[in-house]
Structure 1
Amino acid sequence: MKISFKKTYRFAVISALYISLFATIFVMLLATMVFKYTPKSIFLFGGIFLFFIYAFSFIVIQYRVERFIYRRVKKIYDDVSLLESSTFINQPITTDMETLTLEMKKYATGKKLEIEMLKVREEYRREFLGNVSHELKTPLFTVQGYISTLLEGAMEDKAIRKKYLKRAEKGVERLIYIVEDLDMITKLEVGDLNLEFSEFDIVELIQNVFDLLEMKADKKKITLAFENYHIQPIFVKGDKDKMQQVVENLLVNSIKYGKEGGLTEVSVINLTKKKVLVRVTDNGEGIEKQNLPRVFERFYRVDKSGSRTEGGSGLGLAIVKHIIEAHKEKIYVESEFGIGSEFSFTMTKAKLNIS
């Protein structure tokens, strides 16, 4: 600890003043009654006595009280410094009780918040590790099971061998998908993923994603459509590939949790002169209110059981959030359980759209 003693004189000054005034008045009255002094000599005597008694009282009080408090306060600072509190280590020791009280209160509040944050992080870490192990374990066990079956004799049957190898291949593909998503989200979180900005038609991009996901949507008889059928081209500025991944992830999520025979609509709205709002709305399961703040967390699933059968890495919405934030844009979610959900995000218009 940096030993720097910050002195305070207020207590000694006030205490010495009280003692000096009391002693001086008492001695002046006593001298008046015992000795026959003139008023002038009494006041002169009182002034000299006041000066010396004040100086003596101040020195004694300041030294004794200061040393008494200093020894105890220094022990507090030394004990706190063991907890590596830079706030205390870098500050001089003070014997001012008000200052010390404020510092201790500030330190205690900071430590309380730190402990609460550590508890939250620890809970998140446990949940994250559990989810990662579950996501990796499922395809790994699938691949292991098919390969073990082949090694135990099923390899001789060409039909079974081909079928099992294809299923094992799907398990490996899912593993690769999860690892690639983890790699991407790690780069996004540390700001290590470079965005290649260009100007492109967001309406055309959404239509391309519709075409890619048409078969997936048909399996659940879900219709993918624009809210406004006659929507005109709208050019925006951003990383086209990454924004296609955003739209694709939102639509895949909508299909995954959508009701059979449902509808997913996308709309592009002129929000301001420089911004557009892209909305993805469905009439699927919806999200319960208590789950809304966590939908963008890695591996967090609203449906803990059924959603895993749908596949995916569990990182889709987390990646969406990070890509949007990397573009310095905002993403929003609104949902009502049993009625449907709406995900929306902003984008910056290309210069040719700004009027």
Structure 2
Amino acid sequence: MKSVKSGAESQKGRGEKVRHRHFFHHHRNHRDFHQFHKYFRWVRPGVILFNLLFLYVLFSWVGNTAILLLLVAFIAVKEVIHLFFLRRLERRLFAPVQELDQGVKEIAKGNYDVSIDCDIPNEIGALIVSFNEMARKLREGEKLKQEYEENRKTLIANISHDIKTPITAIQGHVEALLEGVPDSPERAEKYLKTIHRNTIYINKLIDDLFLFSQLDLGKLALHRQTLSIRPFMQDLMEEFKFELEERQCAFTFNDRLAQEHHVSIDGKRINQAVRNIIGNAVKYGPERDLAITVELYQEGDFICLSIQDNGPGIPSEKLAFVFDRFYRIDRARTKDLGSTGLGLAIAKELIEAHGGAISLSSKENEGARFIIALPVERSDHEANPDH
């Protein structure tokens, strides 16, 4: 253990020496640069004054006006050219490097709101452009980090609440059963059904959380296949029609495709996304006379699936949050409905993972309409350019 520790300490010591040496060289180079800059800013005017004094003394000794004027003209032209290049060097090198140095110091302090204005078409200008791009990416990264931290806190709070509620119910009913509170088999069975319902809810919540975390991290493997969209959707809608009609729900499917098209999808995941949307309509729709209409059609390079219900609709101020994780429009009914608050968020992530998009339009008391858009397979689109 001592040898391992001493090796780690020696490695740390070498790292400190490297950092110290780097800091020393950087500090020395920085000092040399400023001295060089100071020379060009302050020593050159002194040289000009010295030249003027030299000419004055020379004129006093020689007294030849023609030679003196020639020397004056020569020195004047030389100094003007020198000053021109000095100003150019100041503007194109020294000033930008100083601004860049100040920007690096701000970045080192953790201030990423730094941007250097520079329109110089040289290596320094390219370096400043790269610096601004680096600062922008650091700024975006810091913002994303803060958003992830806020999301993490919200996620933990929501998970804690959503798991604690059914666990508390399970615990209460189990304790009641152990204490012999139910005075009849019917009441005991009711307690057991409540326990069973809550365990199902917890299991579904955990499954949804796992799936959403995989989607959020981009680690969900999609098993894509190139499928004909029409028979796939017809089979899927037959399945929904059978399930919904058992619940006394009027279900209609309209196929408006002019011809067959192919899409590259993971059928299981598309089924899951559509099921989440239709399931949401069933949960929040009216208990009687619920009607759901699904239409399949093409729009440009996309195959669209419209899902319309006649439910209570969604208030306009809540539309922007519908696809957020754990967002529930009617929190009072959520527990009774068995909703985890992740269904629509998962549907959105699944569709976008296929390169598609999902949108929502709704008005209160007029139902809601979800539209899923999936890209047409490229080879299929190229074979039918007029559609």
| 2:354 is equivalent to residue 323 of structure 1 | no
Aligned to 1:271: 299
Match 2:213 to one of 186, 193, 198: 186
Match 1:208 to one of 231, 239, 254: 239
Shift of 1:43: 4.5
Per the alignment, do residues 234 and 182 of structure 1 end up closer, same or farther by CA in structure 2, a change over 3 Å counting?
farther
Contact 2:253 2:294 in 1 (8 A): yes
Contact 1:283 1:341 in 2 (8 A): yes
- Superposed CA RMSD in Å reads 4.8
Per the alignment, do residues 207 and 276 of structure 1 end up closer, same or farther by CA in structure 2, a change over 3 Å counting?
same
Match 1:261 to one of 280, 284, 289: 289
**Structure 2 CA distance, aligned partners of 1:206 and 1:122?**
40
Which structure 2 residue ranges, 5 or more long, are not aligned? 1-21, 83-96, 115-124
**Structure 2 CA distance, aligned partners of 1:106 and 1:232?**
48
Aligned length: 332
SS in 1 for 2:194: helix
Per the alignment, do residues 302 and 166 of structure 1 end up closer, same or farther by CA in structure 2, a change over 3 Å counting?
closer
Aligned to 1:153: 180
Which structure 1 residue ranges, 5 or more long, are not aligned? 56-69, 88-97
**Structure 1 CA distance, aligned partners of 2:39 and 2:192?**
89
Structure with greater contact order relative to length (CA < 8 Å, sep ≥ 6):
1
Any idea what the Cα deviations from partners look like across 1:59-118, whole Å, max 9, x if unmatched?
Answer: xxxxxxxxxxx99x9899668536598x9xxxxxxxxxx999999988887776566545
Per the alignment, do residues 131 and 233 of structure 1 end up closer, same or farther by CA in structure 2, a change over 3 Å counting?
farther
Aligned to 2:163: 136
Per the alignment, do residues 144 and 225 of structure 1 end up closer, same or farther by CA in structure 2, a change over 3 Å counting?
same
**Structure 2 CA distance, aligned partners of 1:102 and 1:334?**
42
Aligned to 2:225: 197
SS in 2 for 1:201: helix
Aligned to 1:292: 319
Larger displacement relative to structure 2 (329-338 or 232-241): 232-241
**Structure 1 CA distance, aligned partners of 2:104 and 2:257?**
68
**Structure 2 CA distance, aligned partners of 1:44 and 1:345?**
84
**Structure 2 CA distance, aligned partners of 1:101 and 1:328?**
36
Match 1:252 to one of 268, 273, 279: 279
Larger displacement relative to structure 2 (130-139 or 2-11): 2-11
**Structure 2 CA distance, aligned partners of 1:276 and 1:102?**
42
Contact 1:236 1:348 in 2 (8 A): no
Per the alignment, do residues 19 and 305 of structure 1 end up closer, same or farther by CA in structure 2, a change over 3 Å counting?
farther
Larger displacement relative to structure 2 (162-171 or 191-200): 191-200
Any idea what the Cα deviations from partners look like across 1:137-181, whole Å, max 9, x if unmatched?
Answer: 222122112211100114784333333222211111111111111
Shift of 1:208: 0.9
Aligned to 1:281: 308
**Structure 2 CA distance, aligned partners of 1:339 and 1:10?**
72
Larger displacement relative to structure 2 (339-348 or 309-318): 339-348
Supply the AA of the counterpart residue of 2:269.
K
Any idea what the Cα deviations from partners look like across 1:252-284, whole Å, max 9, x if unmatched?
Answer: 111222245343211001224x53110111232
Supply the AA of the counterpart residue of 2:220.
D
Per the alignment, do residues 114 and 197 of structure 1 end up closer, same or farther by CA in structure 2, a change over 3 Å counting?
closer
Any idea what the Cα deviations from partners look like across 1:10-46, whole Å, max 9, x if unmatched?
Answer: 7754655544445434553465367624532675599
**Structure 1 CA distance, aligned partners of 2:358 and 2:292?**
18
Supply the AA of the counterpart residue of 2:306.
R
SS in 2 for 1:265: strand
Per the alignment, do residues 181 and 44 of structure 1 end up closer, same or farther by CA in structure 2, a change over 3 Å counting?
same
SS in 1 for 2:252: strand
Supply the AA of the counterpart residue of 2:185.
K
Shift of 1:186: 1.9
Identity of aligned residues (%): 21
Per the alignment, do residues 30 and 296 of structure 1 end up closer, same or farther by CA in structure 2, a change over 3 Å counting?
same
Larger displacement relative to structure 2 (241-250 or 200-209): 200-209
